[in-house]
Amino acid sequence: MNVDHANATERVLSSVKSIADARITLFLHDTIPLDYPEYQTPESVRKFGKLLDRTRRYADTVLCNSDVSKRDISRHMSPKGNVPPIHVAHLGVEVNFFPNGNNSTLPKGVERPFFVVLGTIEPRKNIGFLLALWNELVDEQPIAEVPHLVICGRRGWMSEQVFSELDNSPLRGRCLHEFNDLEDEEIAGLLQSAAGFLFPSHAEGFGLPPVEAAAMGTPVLCNDLPVLREVLGEFPVYASVTDSYAWKKNILDLANRDSKRATHEVSDREFLRPPTWEEHFNVVLKLT
């Protein structure tokens, strides 16, 4: 059983299959490199295509994290021959997954109301969309009234323009903040105090960051992706990233609600019941 994409080489898989009665189960997280190659490096697209082909030829069972991923995997495998059985096991999320989860200390310069985006800064995550929104918000109202945007995540690939905007924005340090290496307890403090979690991603196989945020009771505003509706249900506010007006309106509404929450004018947050690891392994262990 291999739950990562590493080590699933031709040599390893063929060697295991040469053993009598050996069975192979591989976990595929998504088919994003093939469906959205414009967000990936050419090398990662090539490697994933070969991995998917090896999985089809050698795996007795395929695990994946969502119904959306299952359909995508089958769609790519079917034209090339028989497709092994594919089973969905949603990833588990522990409610108390952050150490010192009651930590409310905020990084220097961050003021409420603020919004958090969490993940590697790379093209698929669509951080440039949020930067453009914040530039529009500053053009439309005094900067002192604009909520803060807090970007948490290491810098990735193929995003030089976004990196340049982050480095040179006049909003940086005022209502725009970037943190590349925060500890878990610092992330927990930000999520617990945020007016909302923003997730304008173009594509996901599951969407772990917004599930974690929702499990902590943080309101979620996200792109309207089928997989997010599958995993998060009606918890988030959904808005297409083609509709910047809807995003700005919802951001300001959430910021206003956060201000009322701070003065106890509205009730406390709602919490999502996330998928559990027990549910995950109830699926996985029945296959072994």
- What pLDDT digit, counting tens, does each position of 81-118 carry? 999 999 999 999 987 766 554 556 788 899 999 999 99
163 in the same domain as 226: yes
**How many domains does the chain fold into?**
2
DSSP assignment letter at 95? T
pLDDT single digits (tens) 271-283: 999 999 999 999 9
- Asked if residue 79 lies in contact with residue 50, where contact means CB atoms within 8 angstroms, the answer is no
HSE of 99 in the Cβ direction (CA atoms, 13 Å)? 2
Q: Which residues contact 51 (CB under 8 A, 6 or more apart)?
A: 5, 8
Peptide bond into 113 cis (omega under 30): yes
Which CATH number do you get for residue 228? 3.40.50.2000
Would you say residue 148 lies in a domain? yes
Same domain, 34 and 79: yes
Domain housing 64: 10-88
Amino acid identity for residue 250 in this structure: N
Whether 19 is covered by a domain: the verdict is yes
Residue 95 lies in a domain: no
Asked if residue 157 and residue 255 are part of one domain, the reply reads yes
> Does 104 map to a domain?
no
As a residue count, the chain comes to 288
Say how many Å lie between the first and final Cα of the chain, rounded. 9
Whether 256 maps to a domain, the answer reads: yes
pTM greater than 0.85: yes
Which helix (H) or strand (E) is 15 found in, with range? helix 10-17
Copy the structure tokens of residue 32.
């994003």
65 shares its domain with 159: no
Kind plus residue range of the DSSP H or E element containing 88 = strand 86-88
